[in-house]
Chains A and B, each alone.
Chain A
Amino acid sequence: MTVAEVVEEEKKPPIKMVRIYIMGREYLVPEGLTILKAMEYAGYRLVRGVGCRAGFCGACATVYRLKDDYRLYTALACQTTVQDGMYLVQLPFVPAKKPRYDIEKLKPDLSAILKFFPEVTRCVQCNTCTKVCPQEIQVMDAIQAILRGDIETAAHLTFDCVACGICSMRCPAEIVHYHVFQLVRRLYGKYIAKPSKHLRERLKEIQEEKFKEELDRLVVAGPTEWKKLYAAREIEP
């Protein structure tokens, strides 16, 4: 670092620190860190309970409380920044039964769900699942749709589920929503959704090796060419 850089660095305001508590112990961590990074900053080594770090995989579901607030908040630890006075826990894992089933042998109706998840009928409509969902899914409405046999609505309502399991952790009826919803979407995909014409056409093209030449060229192109192609790639608006 040159002298000029050091002078410039010292002119910057000091990093603001926030006070958090992990498993009851106090830590000062820089403001703006996510819960995940704050825990690592505090010295925790996260092996399980952490995945994509981008809000998609649902592995880092967690709960926390704020000072002088009665609520138990829920979040994906990689998507939520720390606040002063936050009480955190080690990232929990949500154990849940995961039945095996043969999708070929099921019908897309209530009977299929009840066979493997009879506990869905225990829903008392407290709506806690909806309140805690980090993906803002109408979780209870989806369970209720299932109870009247409306697999299609349930599949659409739960499309954004990342299977973090927070709903299942909080459900007084002990429903494992995310496994139920996966079955619902599988049933929808297999029996209700229209078969995708485009997918079939594209698969045929791949089988006929339409893209083989292009791929072969790419394999031998080298880093400079890859970077150029990557920068010029088509991106959806």
Chain B
Amino acid sequence: MKFLYFPGCSLKNYAKKYEDSALAVAKHFGIELIELKRWNCCGVVYSLASDSVFHCIGAVRDLIRAQEQVGETGNDKLVTLCSMCYQVLASVNHRLANDPSALETLNRFMDEEEDYLGTIEVTHFLTVLRDYVGFDKIREEVKRELADLRVAPYYGCMLVRPKEVAIDDPEEPVILEQLIESLGAYPIDYPFRTECCGSYNVVVNKEVVKTRVLRIISPLFRARADIIVTVCPLCTFNLEYGMKLASRQLHGKKIPVVYFTELLAFALGLDNVLDKTTLEIFKKYM
């Protein structure tokens, strides 16, 4: 099965291990993720200004690139990994589907591109795993015994909000828990798994991130979480950075953070795509 794939800037940069592990997992299940030949930044933040379409331009260009390549896969899906990219692309797509005049303005402005027809469906790799591989199939392929591994799934906000583009129930998502269970590990239930990590405040106000992260991870020590599993490069960065900022409050304690694709790759025995730090985290389950 083939899908078009939009990596996003972070995955080519400091979140390279997210992409590496995801591509290896996809390949393992016979899924070919075809990276768009040309792509640009999604725009990072979906603009809520209803009287301006300017901040949709980056995302629409990417949707046009997908449209140009749609013949290669035989389906309209564009797969993302980064939550921010997913949310921006899906939100812009959703807005334009419901606002034909905005779409027309954008198409007229981008007269050097073919018109965007609104037919691309933005989806997330987690959804692809659930709908095109299936958790049963994943369960069959697991090579490692992970029953002792206690995993805290962290959704953040971008993947499950707003409900128009949410990949799962915005209040009570289960997709990560189902995945963790299918790997034989134990998903920890805790209250702050869909709370915001502080997002871009990390640039201007680090205190916000520190406070958010302390709140998010506070129940995880008593719940004896071994690792936190994330879906987003910015969440990952903020969780790790926030724990560093709050090391005094945490008495130096830390919980390792890995991408869900890294956990998957480890469970499937695809160790060669994991970096040293990640292998060190998983060492005792080898």
Which A residues are within 8 Å of any B CB, using their own CB?
A: 110, 123-127, 130-131, 138, 140-141, 144, 147-150
Contact = CB atoms under 8 A, between A and B. Distances in A.
Interface residues of B, number: 17
A124 B43 CA distance: 7
Contact of B112 (A127, A144, A148): A127
Contact of A144 (B13, B40, B54, B113): B40
Contact of A127 (B9, B12, B39, B110): B110
Nearest to B111: A131
A140 B58 CA distance: 11
Given A126-B109, A149-B9, 15 more contacts: A110-B13, A123-B41, A124-B43, A124-B55, A124-B57, A125-B43, A126-B54, A126-B57, A127-B110, A127-B112, A140-B40, A144-B40, A147-B9, A148-B9, A148-B13
Contact of A150 (B12, B58, B61): B12
A147 B61 contact: no
B55 A131 contact: no
User: Which 3 interchain pairs have the tightest Cβ spacing?
Assistant: A125-B58, A148-B9, A144-B40
Given A148-B13, A149-B12, A150-B12, A127 B61 contact: yes
A110 B43 CA distance: 18
A148 B55 contact: no
Interface in B19-61: 38-41, 43, 54-55, 57-58, 61
Nearest to A125: B58
Contacts of B112: 127, 130-131
A230 B43 CA distance: 56
B9 A124 contact: no
A70 to B, nearest CB: 11
A133 to B, nearest CB: 11
A207 B58 CA distance: 52
Nearest to B40: A144
B43 A149 contact: no
Contact of B41 (A130, A147, A150): A147
A102 to B, nearest CB: 24
B264 to A, nearest CB: 24
A162 to B, nearest CB: 21
A125 B61 contact: yes
Contacts of A149: 9, 12-13
A138 B112 CA distance: 12
Contacts of A123: 41
B38 to A, nearest CB: 6
B12 A124 contact: no
A144 B36 CA distance: 14
A140 B112 CA distance: 13
B12 A148 contact: yes
A110 B12 CA distance: 11
Contacts of A130: 112
B57 to A, nearest CB: 5
Contacts of B12: 148-150
Contacts of A124: 43, 54-55, 57-58
10 contacts: A124-B57, A125-B58, A138-B38, A140-B40, A144-B39, A148-B9, A148-B12, A148-B13, A149-B12, A150-B12
B41 A144 contact: yes
Contacts of A150: 12
A144 to B, nearest CB: 4
Contacts of B110: 127
